[in-house]
Chain A
Amino acid sequence: MFEGILWDPIFFLWLLSLIAVLVYLFGRLWNNSYNKGEQVEPFLSGNEEQESNYPHASDMYWGFTEALKDYYVSMKEMHSNVVNDYVYWFVVVLALTMLVVVVS
């Protein structure tokens, strides 16, 4: 599976190194007038970036979880944090496995 050059990780590494060197050399051609300062600062809606402005982890993928709301509601019910429910699911799987194995 790894015989071909397409999946050869060493080849990947050489290729990435080559691209990195080319990008560096290419960048050097026009960066004489480059002014380090506010150009490297992140731009957030025109406001200065502050700790309190930074999006929280829980803000991320809101659209994804909202689109799959029904799925996540049922999943949260399943993950009830009650040990009785943990045992319940184990018994369900055990019963189904036994049924399938014995019948087959």
Chain B
Amino acid sequence: MIDLVALLLDNTLSLIIVTPLMGAFVTELVARINKKWVFPLALISILVSSSFAFLLASQVYSGGVVSRAIESDNPAKLTVSLPSGSLLPIRIILEADGMSVLMAIIVAIMSLVVIIYSRKFIRKKLTLFYPLFLIMVSGTYGMMLTGDLFNLFVFIEIVSISGAGLITALDRKRAPDSAFKFLVMSTIGALIILTGIGLLYGQYDSLNIAFLAKSIHWTFLDKVAFALMLAGLAMKAGSVPMHMWVPDAYGDSPAPVSAFFVVGSQASLYALFRICFSLFGLSLNYVTAGWILIILGVLSMFVGVTMALPQKDIKRLMAFHAVSQTGYMLLGVGVGLTVLGTPAFAAFGFKAMEGGIFHVINHALYKGLLFLTAGAIFYATGTRKLNDIRGLAHYMPWTTVFFMVGAFSIAGLPPFNGFASKILIYESVYAFNPVLSAIAMLVSILTLASFIKVFYSAFLGPKPSKKPKRIPHSMLLAMLLLTLLILFFGLFPELIINNLIKPAVMALVNVSAYVGVFSGV
């Protein structure tokens, strides 16, 4: 028994990824016998992987970084001879520090909430939806826990392909077109990233991020590789002007998938931050890279919110807001990167990064909640068109409250969690450049205006003549869980910042420590 516990503790990193992956295949097989077992099996897979994620978090927060190399019993037998004469062991390297574990917590929470919500929402194509969802969860965990660039590419592809399948899970009219666009953009983005990885591998004979970080000399090819990876990952994160796939993919996929897509995009954002800090952090021109992130961030914030305002489809509107909110994260982290290594970093750069990273987890919670409320509206009324719905508050009081919490939070109103991260971004970015801070505040005002429109048209007004369908308890429970987390994060921001956000920012900015710890794996 003790051996089993020790074995589980030793292999937490791999089990987080393997559990949902195995769950996907088992679910598909079991579905051939009895479809009633599909949901319980999927739920168990998510419960187990989420438990492992929280276990990993406790390991990292109590004992520092965790790493694991999956390789043959006799590594000497499984090597490739390189032209340089050195032997490269074939293995998979997984690693977790404060940043990756924060992202794993986000996946754990959101996958759990989404699967609870899906129980009643997904009533057909169960054998398509649940295995694909589990594969996507596995790929997302993989992106956050890998220490190897090629595996990062593989996990990006897993998330993209499963995501495209999930978009079309329920809708066969508009969704296939959106899935096709998503797949085209994802494939092109992934190939561009792979080209960048190839340029590094060709020069340094390694794919280990930490090993590469200390080897990179910032040659011409390194610069090209950095630009390729940055553009590819920024596109995958939904940054303007490469965001056009976002309203299609988020808008036409089933609501629980849209909620998890937010996490998928954040996985790309995480990879982008890893590339900027952990991979190129010892050699990069911080000012150039930081300003690229800032410009992409400001464009995303402004274009995203202004495009959201005239939307008539509730999910497309929310998708444009997802683009806009990504801008805040890019702005916060971009400002931190620009002043990294200067006295200004201690003055406001660290706070800016805290704000940006805190906004990642806050955004996952409130945007996830908003997509789930949009799904509840669709479930109850059968439409996503704002012009066709009104007066829902008469019949859906709980959904109305959940929507208000999500809307207040995304608009950055106190005391919700969006306020906590946005105030950090406003104050620190103001010290860097007041104009950028003013734009960020203006975007928040427009965000509030946009959600007032949704609230007024969908929830207020006279009682609708056609009574909407009753929302199942499982869907309400999922929304309630996110609402409670939003309130908790908003009421106790210092607790979250000190215990989750600070270690994440430290893991990103302390590049020498990252290289020192992980290059020896």
* Interface set of A (CB-CB < 8 Å, partner B): 1-2, 7, 9-10, 12-13, 49-51, 54-58, 60-61, 64-65, 68, 71-72, 75, 78-79, 81, 83, 85-87, 89-90, 92-94, 97-98, 100-102, 104
Q: Is the Cβ of A49 less than 8 Å from the Cβ of B462?
A: yes
Is B254 an interface position by the 8 A CB rule? no
Q: Is the Cβ of A104 less than 8 Å from the Cβ of B184?
A: no
A97 and B231 in contact (CB under 8 A), knowing A10-B491, A75-B303? yes
Q: Is the Cβ of A101 less than 8 Å from the Cβ of B312?
A: no
CB proximity of B287 to chain A, nearest CB, Å: 8
Is B494 an interface position by the 8 A CB rule? yes
Q: Is the Cβ of B454 less than 8 Å from the Cβ of A57?
A: yes
Q: Is the Cβ of B288 less than 8 Å from the Cβ of A58?
A: no
The secondary-structure label for the interface of chain B is helix
CA distance A79 to B320 in the complex (A): 12
Residues of A within 8 A of B128 (CB): none
CB proximity of A42 to chain B, nearest CB, Å: 8
Q: Is the Cβ of A1 less than 8 Å from the Cβ of B427?
A: yes
Q: Is the Cβ of A89 less than 8 Å from the Cβ of B241?
A: yes
Residues of A within 8 A of B490 (CB): 9
Q: Is the Cβ of A7 less than 8 Å from the Cβ of B456?
A: no
Residues of B within 8 A of A57 (CB): 312, 386-387, 453-454, 456-458
Q: Is the Cβ of A94 less than 8 Å from the Cβ of B228?
A: yes
Q: Which residue of A lies closest to B299 (CB)?
A: A93
Q: Is the Cβ of A86 less than 8 Å from the Cβ of B185?
A: yes
Shortest 5 CB-CB distances between A and B: which pairs?
Answer: A9-B415, A57-B386, A57-B457, A98-B227, A104-B288
8 Å CB contacts to A: which residues of B401-457?
Answer: 414-415, 419-420, 423-424, 427, 449, 453-454, 456-457
8 Å CB contacts to A: which residues of B177-212?
Answer: 180-181, 184-185, 188-189, 192
Residues of A within 8 A of B493 (CB): 2, 9
CA distance A72 to B125 in the complex (A): 39
Q: Is the Cβ of A94 less than 8 Å from the Cβ of B192?
A: yes
Q: Is the Cβ of A94 less than 8 Å from the Cβ of B227?
A: yes
Q: Is the Cβ of B303 less than 8 Å from the Cβ of A56?
A: no
Q: Is the Cβ of B242 less than 8 Å from the Cβ of A89?
A: yes
Q: Is the Cβ of B306 less than 8 Å from the Cβ of A75?
A: yes
- Pairs across A and B, CB under 8 Å, 27 listed: A2-B497, A9-B420, A12-B414, A12-B415, A51-B465, A56-B386, A57-B456, A58-B386, A58-B387, A61-B449, A64-B309, A75-B306, A79-B247, A81-B244, A83-B184, A87-B184, A89-B242, A90-B231, A94-B231, A97-B230, A98-B227, A101-B288, A101-B289, A101-B292, A102-B220, A102-B227, A104-B285
CB proximity of A88 to chain B, nearest CB, Å: 10
CB proximity of B304 to chain A, nearest CB, Å: 11
Q: Which residue of B lies closest to A48 (CB)?
A: B462
CA distance A39 to B223 in the complex (A): 69
Is B64 an interface position by the 8 A CB rule? no
CA distance A97 to B289 in the complex (A): 9
Residues of B within 8 A of A83 (CB): 180-181, 184-185
Q: Is the Cβ of A7 less than 8 Å from the Cβ of B423?
A: yes
Is B133 an interface position by the 8 A CB rule? no
CA distance A87 to B245 in the complex (A): 10
Is B480 an interface position by the 8 A CB rule? no
Q: Is the Cβ of A92 less than 8 Å from the Cβ of B185?
A: no
Q: Which residue of B lies closest to A89 (CB)?
A: B241
Residues of A within 8 A of B189 (CB): 90
Q: Which residue of B lies closest to A9 (CB)?
A: B415
CA distance A7 to B490 in the complex (A): 11
CB proximity of A94 to chain B, nearest CB, Å: 4
CB proximity of B92 to chain A, nearest CB, Å: 29
CA distance A101 to B230 in the complex (A): 10
How would residues 449 to 487 of chain B score, 1 for a CB under 8 Å from any chain A CB and 0 otherwise? 100011011100111110000000000000000000000
Residue among A7, A55, A86 with the highest chain B CB neighbour number at 10 A? A86
